[in-house]
Amino acid sequence: MIVDNLPEGVLVVDSFNDILFANSTALSYLETPEKDIIGKNIGFGPVPGAIKTILLPKSIDPARQCFEACFRNLYWNGEASYLITLRPHENGKPTSILAGKSEIMDALPTIERSEECQLRFSPQGLILDALDISPGIFIKDPGSENNLSIFDVLSDEHSQLLKGKIELLSAYQPMQIFNAPYAYGLQSNQHLQFILQGFFDKSGEIYEYLLLGSLVNSFFPYSKESSVMTSIVDHASQPIAFTDMNGNFTHANQQFFNLLGYRSQDIYGKQINSILSSVHTPEYFNKIVTSIFQRGGWQGECWLQHKNQHIFPAEVQATTIFHKNGEVACCAIYICDKSELRLVENNLRHLALHDPLTNLPNRTLLLERLYQSIRMANKKEEQFAVLHLDLDGFKAVNNTYGHIAGDQLLKLISERLLTCIHKDDLLARMGGDEFAIISYPTEYMGLLPASVTAQKIINDLTRPCLIEENELFITASIGISLYPEDGTNATSLLKNADIAMYRAKELGKNNFQFYSEELNRRVLKRLDMGNHLRHALERDEFRLVYQPIVESHSRRIVAAEALLRWEHTQLGRIMPDDFISLAEETGLIVDIGKWVIQTACKQHMVLLQSGYSPVQMSVNISGRQLEQDDFVSFIEHTLANTEMKPDRLVLEITESFLMEDIEKNRKKLVEIRKLGVKISIDDFGTGYSSLNSLVNLPIDSLKIDKTFVDAMEENPHGLSLVKGVISIGHNLDMEIIAEGVEHNAQAILLETHGCDQLQGYYFGMPMNFNELCRLIDPLL
Exposed / middle / buried, residue 751 (Cβ in 10 Å: 0-12, 13-18, 19+): middle
Q: What's the closest the beta carbon of residue 585 comes to Mg ion, in angstroms? A: 20
Choices 132-140, 618-626, 628-636, 723-731 (CB under 6 A): range interacting with ligand C2E: 618-626
How many other CB atoms are found less than 10 A from the CB of residue 665?
18
280 binds, among Mg ion, ligand C2E, none (CB under 5 to 8 A by kind): none
Site string for ligand C2E, 490-529 (x = CB under 6 A): ----------------------------------------
SS3 labels along 435-480: EEEEECCCCCCCCCHHHHHHHHHHHHCCCCEEECCEEECCEEEEEE
Q: What's the closest the beta carbon of residue 672 comes to ligand C2E, in angstroms? A: 15
Indicate which single residue of 652, 672, 729, 763 sits in contact with Mg ion (rule: CB under 5 A): 652
Nearer Cβ to ligand C2E (120/706): 706
Indicate which single residue of 49, 123, 576, 676 sits in contact with ligand C2E (rule: CB under 6 A): 576
Site for ligand C2E in 689-718 (CB under 6 A): 706
Contact 510, 458 (CB under 8 A): yes
Backbone angles phi, psi at 759, to 5 degrees: -140, 140
Verify binding: residue 740, ligand C2E, rule CB under 6 A. Answer: yes
Q: What's the closest the beta carbon of residue 549 comes to ligand C2E, in angstroms? A: 10
Contact 612, 580 (CB under 8 A): no
Indicate which single residue of 580, 691, 711, 719 sits in contact with ligand C2E (rule: CB under 6 A): 580
Indicate which single residue of 153, 409, 501, 563 sits in contact with ligand C2E (rule: CB under 6 A): 563
DSSP-derived letter for residue 393 is: T
How many other CB atoms are found less than 10 A from the CB of residue 424?
11
User: Which is nearest to 336 in space by CA: 178, 175, 127, 560?
Assistant: 175
- Can you say how many angstroms the Cα of residue 601 is from the centroid of all Cα atoms in its chain? 50
For ligand C2E (CB under 6 A), the number of binding residues is 23
Q: Cβ neighbours of residue 162 under 8 Å, at least 6 residues apart?
A: 150, 151, 154, 194, 196, 211
Contact 722, 703 (CB under 8 A): no
CA distance 763 to 556: 10
Verify binding: residue 533, ligand C2E, rule CB under 6 A. Answer: no
- Can you say how many angstroms the Cα of residue 574 is from the centroid of all Cα atoms in its chain? 42
Q: What's the closest the beta carbon of residue 430 comes to ligand C2E, in angstroms? A: 41
| Euclidean distance between the first and the last CA atom of the chain, given in angstroms as a whole number | 123
Angle between helices 631-642 and 662-674 (to 10 degrees): 20
Indicate which single residue of 683, 685, 704, 763 sits in contact with Mg ion (rule: CB under 5 A): 683
Q: Cβ neighbours of residue 83 under 8 Å, at least 6 residues apart?
A: 10, 11, 12, 71, 72, 73, 74
| Residues in a beta bridge with 476 | 391
Indicate which single residue of 318, 438, 564, 702 sits in contact with ligand C2E (rule: CB under 6 A): 564
649 binds, among ligand C2E, Mg ion, none (CB under 5 to 8 A by kind): none
Nearer Cβ to Mg ion (425/683): 683
Choices 281-289, 326-334, 354-362, 740-748 (CB under 6 A): range interacting with ligand C2E: 740-748
Verify binding: residue 433, Mg ion, rule CB under 5 A. Answer: no
Q: What's the closest the beta carbon of residue 770 comes to ligand C2E, in angstroms? A: 18
Q: Cβ neighbours of residue 595 under 8 Å, at least 6 residues apart?
A: 537, 542
Exposed / middle / buried, residue 733 (Cβ in 10 Å: 0-12, 13-18, 19+): exposed
Site for ligand C2E in 628-687 (CB under 6 A): 652, 682-683
Choices 121-129, 254-262, 680-688, 713-721 (CB under 5 A): range interacting with Mg ion: 680-688
Angle between helices 576-586 and 517-536 (to 10 degrees): 90
Site for Mg ion in 734-753 (CB under 5 A): 739
CA distance 662 to 581: 22
622 binds, among Mg ion, ligand C2E, none (CB under 5 to 8 A by kind): ligand C2E
Indicate which single residue of 174, 296, 449, 760 sits in contact with ligand C2E (rule: CB under 6 A): 760
547 binds, among ligand C2E, Mg ion, none (CB under 5 to 8 A by kind): ligand C2E
316 by DSSP, 3-state: which? strand
374 binds, among Mg ion, ligand C2E, none (CB under 5 to 8 A by kind): none
Task: For the chain, give the longest Cα–Cα distance.
Answer: 128
Q: What's the closest the beta carbon of residue 426 comes to ligand C2E, in angstroms? A: 33
Nearer Cβ to Mg ion (232/649): 649
Indicate which single residue of 118, 238, 622, 746 sits in contact with ligand C2E (rule: CB under 6 A): 622
Indicate which single residue of 16, 172, 473, 761 sits in contact with ligand C2E (rule: CB under 6 A): 761
Site for ligand C2E in 342-401 (CB under 6 A): none
Site of interaction with ligand C2E (CB under 6 A): 547, 563-564, 575-577, 580, 593, 596, 620-622, 652, 682-683, 706, 739-742, 760-761, 766
Binding-site ranges for Mg ion (CB under 5 A): 620, 652, 682-683, 739
